[in-house]
Structures are given as C-alpha cells and as structure tokens.
Structure 1
Amino acid sequence: MPRILTYNVHRCLGTDGRLSPERIAEVIASCQPDVVALQELDVNRVRTGGVDQAHAIAQALGMHMHFHPALRVLEEEYGDAILTHRPARLIKAASLPGLSGRPALEPRGALWTAVNLGGAEVQLINTHLGLRRHERLAQVEALLGPEWLGHPACREPVILAGDFNAMPGSRAYGRLSSRLADAQSFPRIRRPYPTFPGRMPIFRIDHVFVSRSIEVVRAETVRTPLARKASDHLPLLVEFRAINATHARRLAPGLSAEQTETVR
C-alpha cells in the first residue's frame, strides 16, 4: 500500500543545533514513503550555507522533486516541496493569502501535484499555514475554494498534507475536517500522536487530510532518536489505499453521507 510522509524539516536544523539535509534524508528513507510533503526548506540561503536543501534531499532519496518558494529574496528561497519516485506532474504552485495591513508576516504557499500511487492518480496538495488565527482561516478558505480543493481537476482521490499550525478543535482544523477526514481519526488508528516540538511533542499541528475514496490503514509519527534530533517537528507517516464509494461512506470519519457523496 502507498505511503505518504509529511515533515516540517525546520531548514534541516536539528534540535542539537546541527544543520544536516543528509540526516533529514536518512529519517525519510527509514520510512520508505512513496511520496513526501516537506515544509521549511532553504534553497541557496546564506544562513544554511547556500545549499539547495530540496535538491539535496531528493537526490539522496533518489526521488524527483517539485519545489515552491513561499519566500524569495534575490537568489535565496524558502518554501515547500513534494518528492516522489512515482510518476508525477505539477498542477499548481502559488501563494496563499496573508493579512491585509500585515506585510511583515511570513509569506505562505501551497503546491499541488498529481501522483500515480497504486494505480490511481492521487491529487496531493502540500502546504504550510501561518501562525496567526485569522491568517490561517483566510488560507484555509483559499485552499477550500475554487483554485485548490474546489477546482474541477481536484477530483478523487485527494490528499491535503502539511504543517497547518492548527490543533484539533481550532476553527481552521474544523473547516478542513468538515471537507476531508483527518488520517489520524480513522478506526484502525489507536490514538493520534502530536508532532511538535520534536524532542517531547505535545501539539498536533502537522496533519494529513484525505478524501472519501481513501482508507487510512496506518498513521503514526516517526519517533526514533534520529527523528527527535533532525528537526523540531516529527514526521507523520500515513499508509492508505483507495476504496470504492460504498466503503467510503462507512469509513470516512466525521463526514456526513451527503459530504461523502460529493467529489471534491
């Protein structure tokens, strides 16, 4: 069954103060994912030695990569990437709205690829949302709108992954979970695990949301000693399979029958 990993790599700066894309790649490789959604990558930035972290990690894993810079200053970039060894095509990469009158807030973005996983073309969107509540809500509404999840091409099966900076119970999380199912809420999953901070995680802010035609069979954080050092977030690994509409109505937690009949 295919596996997806979402991972905020904190510009490859570990909790021990060491910069190492190689260590991040080692953590990812240990999970044997088919596709990886990464956030907080530095590309050609002075603060991290001018390394193209997205390329370095992809090369170490033998994967091809799509990168979107949420922030660009001259030659320096900072953003998110999707890596996979499966056939994939980039559909969209763009900025998400911030707050009017707050230009100093860190820019946020998302990227959308179509990946062939297990014989099905999965629409995968990777994102990293803002730190302020109203900023996150604006970004969530954009993702739910006609340019992203509501786009006609964003059809089943769909996965939305990333660092949402939103805990379960928050308005942003609630809006997303009204459309898609949280991978850690499926019946097979014993309990959800937090992802931040990496050494002793207490906050569940990194998520994988899935559409009605996906059944999650495994969802867990990677809690190895190396993962606890490599970044200030733990990776979240999700194993899944495509299912038919009848099973979807039974297995999609938190979604009404009307919602599971709607293709997003």
Structure 2
Amino acid sequence: MITVASYNIRKGLGTDRRRRPDRILDVLHEVSADVVALQEADRRFGARQSALPSDLIARGEYKAVPFDIRPGGIGWHGNAILVRHSVDILDYVPLDLPRLEPRGAVLAELSIGGKALRIVGMHLDLSGLWRRRQVRAVIDQVRSRAPMPTVLMGDLNEWSLNGGCMREFDDGHHVVPLGRSYHSRRPVGCLDRIILTPDLHLVASGVHSSERARLASDHLPVWAKVNWTD
C-alpha cells in the first residue's frame, strides 16, 4: 500500500502572508505520502524558480521529478511531482493543455517496490469550458501511452462535486471521495481531487487539516492510500 497526495502550495505563501517553504515541507512530512503532486510550485515571473528550494527538498524525505532543466526550477507551469528517495523514476514528460491562461500538467512513470505507477499532476483553468477540454486532453495523452495503473490528481478548480469537468472522467476512472480543502482556514470547496484507474484499489482517503497546514497555504493537502488490484 502507498499514499499519494496533492497539494496546492501557493508558491509557499501562507495564510499569514509570509512566504515559508519550510512549512510546506513540514506539512508534507505530516502527510507522509510516497508521491506528492504539487501545484503553484514555481514562481510565475522572473527566473520562475521553485518556491521550494532544491537544497531544502534534498535535505528531507523527497526528490523532485526533474521536469524543469532551468537552474532552481522543478516544475512545468507550476506543476511538480515529489517522490520518496526510494522510488525509481522510469519516465517523465510535461503535458501541453489547451488553455486560455498559462496551464499545463505533468506525467511521471514510477517504480515503487517493483510495481509500476503512473502519476499525473495538474492545475486546471478557472473557466469551466477550458477545464473540460483540459481533462479530455489529459485523458487522451495518458491513453496514448502503454497501460499502467494511474493516479490523476491536482487542483481542478471545479466547485461542483459531480458536474463540470468531473463528467469527463468516464467509467474507466474512480473519483476518490475526499472532502473540502479550500480555503484552508475555513474549507468550503472540494477543489483538490484524486482520480484512480480501475487497476488501483482505494483503501482510505481524506483531507489533511492540521494547524500547520491551515497556516502554510490557502489549500489543504488531500491524500489517498491505494493498493494495486493484481
């Protein structure tokens, strides 16, 4: 069994308006996931460096999937994936999405304890029309690759539990029940989602709501414990 998590870290800016990347890593250590998809992981302007310094990540439990070759960058349009040091990275690729504003997704294929797992991290548009197009684009690109148990997760910006872009996930996907993750101080929206393919079995899931998490970002991390079905 492994734990996957998704976390919009708001570029390390907390609800106290202080930019503290160390708090983000402290929250990730609380969640203790094997794989984490991050959103808003890079600055949007200037050199677009990671909001989580690479040396700070390296001192902890994780390593970054190297999507970005720029010095100090770890993501693609703010999306990044962190994995435990024991996880083998088999392949990785940024995904281009149809977009009205700068958006993207990232895909990594991993080996965890000898079992293959594909992770897709994404941060979708504020527009419902573009969100639906983006989900379809992600699904099409995943299905163009060899079959593999897949977790899709991220900040989908979808307020509806079952409508909107969630309708684009067909019977080949299981939308994990999680709970409200935004705003971290007083959660009212289920914007952060985790979706599984049928070759993965959900064991448990939820929203991580600690005092530190309520302070570190305006989103709370969401998590799921899963097993392979074979």
Task: Give the TM-score taking structure 1 as reference length.
Answer: 0.77
Task: Give the gaps of 5 or more residues in structure 2.
Answer: 69-75
Q: Post-superposition shift, 1:67?
A: 5.2
Q: Post-superposition shift, 1:57?
A: 5.2
Larger CA deviation: 169-178 vs 132-141: 169-178
Deviation string 1:24-81 (CA, Å, 9 cap, x unpaired) is 0000011211111100012595699x66526255324232212557xxxxxxx85111
Amino acid at match of 1:231: S
Deviation string 1:218-248 (CA, Å, 9 cap, x unpaired) is 101111000011000000011111113xxxx
Deviation string 1:142-171 (CA, Å, 9 cap, x unpaired) is 1121xx221132x13111011111131222
Aligned to 1:65: 64
Aligned to 1:164: 156
Are positions 1:201 and 2:205 aligned together?
no
| Residue pair 1:4, 1:36 contacting (<8 A) in 2 also | yes
Structure 2 distance, partners of 1:198, 1:127, is 19
Q: Which has the larger radius of gyration?
A: 1
Structure 1 distance, partners of 2:220, 2:56, is 17
Aligned to 1:149: 142
Aligned to 1:219: 205
Structure 2 distance, partners of 1:178, 1:58, is 37
Q: Which aligned runs of 4 or more in structure 1 are off by greater than 4 angstroms?
A: 43-48
Q: Post-superposition shift, 1:89?
A: 2.9
Percent identity between the aligned chains?
26
Q: Post-superposition shift, 1:174?
A: 1.4
Amino acid at match of 1:117: I
Aligned to 2:7: 7
Task: Give the TM-score taking structure 2 as reference length.
Answer: 0.87
| Residue pair 2:67, 2:93 contacting (<8 A) in 1 also | no
| Residue pair 1:68, 1:109 contacting (<8 A) in 2 also | no
Amino acid at match of 1:176: F
Aligned length: 220
| Residue pair 1:214, 1:243 contacting (<8 A) in 2 also | yes
For the residue of structure 2 that corresponds to 1:110, the secondary structure is: strand
Aligned to 2:123: 128
For the structure 1 residues 40 and 56, does the alpha-carbon distance in structure 2 shift closer, same or farther, using more than 3 Å as the test?
farther
Aligned to 2:72: none
Q: Post-superposition shift, 1:177?
A: 5.0
Amino acid at match of 1:225: E
Task: Give the gaps of 5 or more residues in structure 1.
Answer: 70-76, 100-104, 185-191, 245-264
Partner residue of 1:228 out of 208, 214, 229? 214
Structure 1 distance, partners of 2:151, 2:81, is 12
Structure 1 distance, partners of 2:20, 2:215, is 10
Structure 2 distance, partners of 1:51, 1:123, is 23
Deviation string 1:190-240 (CA, Å, 9 cap, x unpaired) is xx4111111111111111100111111110111100001100000001111
Q: Hey, which of these two has a bigger chunk of helix by percent? A: 1
